[in-house]
Amino acid sequence: MEGEKLSEMYDMHLAGALAFGDYKNPVNAGLMSRAFLYTKNFNGIIFSFPMEYSLALHGLINEGEQAVKLGLKGIAELAEDIIVIRDIYLAEYNETKIHFTNISSKTSIKNIKQAKKNNIQVSAQIAAHLLYLNDSVLNEFDTNYKVIPPLRNEETRKQFIKAILEGTIDCICSDHQPQDIESKKIEFDHAEFGMATMENTFSLARTATMKEVELTKLIDCSTTNP
């Protein structure tokens, strides 16, 4: 998980592993390309967490009006977009699969939609709390809402639901990342990213999409699609 070399993916494949990633750690383009080539031999899937941390350096919440209002450093959607387009190109070049975890950008959705039209083997997921919440809940500097990728604005949140309807986003996940109380009950700048969501993932997704998304489709996004 230092982004320097490949793990023993084939041995793990023989033991039953289906997909490989580095969770929320950055992976350089060269290593990612080699991972694509390696897993192609046994039809494995690479998971990519799309975040260029050098563009999100010290960012705490979504870059936008709310960040300016609160005086907090923002994380631009660009930090995600640049990795999504990079890994789409790498997957196309290597003629293999790519799955994006925790999509949170309008432009990412646009690029993934186009990639699917171009028959590139791409899929994507979104966290349920990104469907339900927007960055306005951060008014009170509540560290429970400090997550990565960050909660986006209301306009972008609505785009996530549209992307589920269109099939651009395939899966809904929990992104369950609980933290010790000592890591959350501190100043916002120093609090860890993450929230505990496992218990209410489906209820969040259902409440957020009830007016637009049929229950059967929501169930598919939570079960059979993954």
Segment (H or E) for 35 = helix 29-40
3-class SS letters over 147-210 = CCCCCCCHHHHHHHHHHHHHCCCCEEECCCCCCCHHHCCCCHHHCCCCCCCHHHHHHHHHHHHC
Instruction: Tell me if residue 217 falls in helix, strand or coil.
Output: helix
175 is a catalytic site residue: yes
> What tokens were used for 158?
């609505």
State the residue for tokens 């997957």.
91
The active-site residue, picked from 81, 175, 189, 220, is 175
Give me the active site residues, please.
Answer: 175
